[in-house]
Structure formats: C-alpha cells, structure tokens
Homo-oligomer: A and B are copies of this chain.
C-alpha cells in the first residue's frame, strides 16, 4: 500500500474539554489536518482499527502514572492497529502492520517508541491485535499469571466477565483448572459468560443487592478476585475471599468519580487477618513480556481454545459514543472503531 492510497487530509478526534467523570461526545471535536509526512525515523501509520478502552477516562482527565493527561486541543490518546504507509525508518517499512499508540485519527505520525507490537502473523484477524492479542488479552494473561497465580481447584471471581479483559481471564482461569464465577451487568451477559466463555456461574450485579447474590454463588468463598470495577462491589467480593486470597486490581469502572474522594468500608483488617495480597496491575509495567503473552494467546486462538467477541463500529465519529457505551456496559465484546 503506497502513498497513492492516501487522501490529502487527516481526520482526527481532538480532546477539547476535560470530562467530569465518564467522557461524553462533547468532550471531543472532529478536526481535519494536513496529512503527516515521515522524516528523521518517523513513519506514517494508516489506522485500521481504533481501540476504545476504559483507561481513556484516566488519560483524558488526570492522566495516569505512566502518562500525563492528554493536552486539550490534541488528538485523543488511543491504541490502534494500522499499517505503515510511508516511512523514514528501515525497521518499520511500508506495509508493516503495527499495534501501538496511534490515537483516534486516520493517520498517525509515529516513532519507534509508539509501537507496542509488530504484527507478524496475518492468519489471525487484524482486529484481534487490538483486543484479545492487544492490551486486553495481554492484561488478562499477565495479571492472572503474575498476581492471581491460579491453582487448579481454586475459585476465581472475574468482574466484567463478558468484557474484553474479563472474557479472556475467564477462559484462561478455566484452562488453569479453576472454578470461575463471573460478575456482569445484564441477564444477556450472564448467559454469554456461562455459555460462551465458560463461567461455572455468573451474577448479574444489577439484579439486586450484591451480598445475597454472592452468598448464593460464591458460598464457599473464592481464592482470586480479578477486579476491574472497584467500589462497593469490590468491598463485598473482598469479604468472600479465603485465607491467602489474591486481588488483581485492574480497573475501577464502577466508581463514577474520584473527586471528591469516595469512601467505603475499611479493608485493612480483611487484608491482615486473611493474609490477602492485593496488587494493582499496570500493563505498561510489563512491556517486555508482551511478545511472549501474544504468542501464547495466538497459539490458543489457533487451537480454538479461546473465543472472543468484538463490537465494531464504523467511522471516527463513532468513537466517543463507543467509549460512553463501554462505561454504561452497552458494548458486547471488545469495542473497536473500523476506519
């Protein structure tokens, strides 16, 4: 694919307002800029699939440990799968498929450090590299390995179990011989968790108070909590952990806002008396392990041992709404924007 395929303008989604809580459409503006030209080792990536991730809330507001907030008036930070269409870098020649920090835009002027994965096996759908073979699947695999350390026969609670991370964590925990109880937000997703992803049981936390739901479904306690929701749900699940339990903190999606600082049950006594281990999993602390994780997941995919769902919308302007839907639980599978 060469320069001839490129239009002369680059459509981009700029962050124009700091979201209060979950980002909404008006926090972004569609913009048209000149097509970038590569120089001094940079290269132009034509984005094919834009990733829509809960972490974007943090990037658009306060930033995170590994990245400052997205400056207002600049392209919204996002992961994407794309193809190099012009290059001044021999390591990333035209035609190369990449997964990396290419932003919510049609074309990215990228540097080597923006690349997370060079996509070598085109026998798997390219979109998969932005989901189950991207940070979602890698997060599930590495967080489970490094913090959860599942042992056959143990019980794990997986939150957002029908989601891009949770559905992979569920399948990997099952493959490790664990009993998996999924937590999700609708009756349809409960069915998906059990029938498609292999949860032994699943809970719709919107069905009623969480305590009796957990009592019914995790009666004997759990050994691992794969938590992406935080809040009162976390407190309730944490209290169902057995001695020596591990909590993987992977997200805090259920907490609408951190300003003013929300309060909840004190958890240090549970941690102490049960000898719990509670660790935050920050995927970008584990970049050297990405390649191995992607290979392992790809092998399982080819062997038919992993399934995944995608919720693909079309066109740049669909991105903000897709992000809002992720927070509202209205997506079904990994949220992607096809360009």
**Does any Cβ of B come within 8 Å of A277's Cβ?**
yes
Pair B276/A280 contact, Cβ less than 8 Å: yes
Stoichiometry, as copies per complex, reads 2
**Does any Cβ of B come within 8 Å of A268's Cβ?**
yes
* Given A263-B263, A266-B262, residue A275 in contact with residue B230 (CB < 8 A): no
**Does any Cβ of B come within 8 Å of A279's Cβ?**
yes
Q: Which of B249, B270, B278 contacts A279 (CB 8 A)?
A: B278
Please, which residues of chain B bring their CB within 8 A of the CB of A272?
A: 230, 249-252, 280-282
A19 smallest CB distance to B (angstroms): 16
A121 smallest CB distance to B (angstroms): 30
Pair A269/B252 contact, Cβ less than 8 Å: yes
Within 8 A of B (CB), among A262-303: 262-282, 285
CA distance A244 to B249 in the complex (A): 13
Pair A65/B282 contact, Cβ less than 8 Å: no
CA distance A252 to B270 in the complex (A): 10
Q: Which of B64, B231, B263, B275 contacts A265 (CB 8 A)?
A: B263
CA distance A65 to B268 in the complex (A): 14
Chain A: interface secondary structure? Answer: mixed
Please, which residues of chain B bring their CB within 8 A of the CB of A255?
A: 266, 268-269
| Contact size range, A | 35 or more
Please, which residues of chain B bring their CB within 8 A of the CB of A270?
A: 280
**Does any Cβ of B come within 8 Å of A2's Cβ?**
no
* Given A264-B266, A266-B261, residue A274 in contact with residue B234 (CB < 8 A): no
In this complex, the member of A243, A279, A280 whose beta carbon has the largest number of chain B beta carbons within 10 angstroms is A280
CA distance A224 to B65 in the complex (A): 17
Q: Which of B258, B264, B273 contacts A282 (CB 8 A)?
A: B273
Pair B65/A273 contact, Cβ less than 8 Å: yes
CA distance A255 to B273 in the complex (A): 14
Closest to A283 in B: B275
**Does any Cβ of B come within 8 Å of A93's Cβ?**
no
Please, which residues of chain B bring their CB within 8 A of the CB of A269?
A: 230, 252, 255, 258
Pair A282/B275 contact, Cβ less than 8 Å: yes
* Given A64-B273, A275-B65, residue A268 in contact with residue B252 (CB < 8 A): yes
18 of the cross-chain contacts (CB-CB < 8 Å) are A65-B274, A230-B268, A231-B266, A231-B268, A234-B268, A244-B285, A255-B266, A261-B265, A262-B265, A263-B266, A264-B266, A272-B282, A275-B280, A275-B281, A275-B282, A277-B279, A278-B278, A278-B279
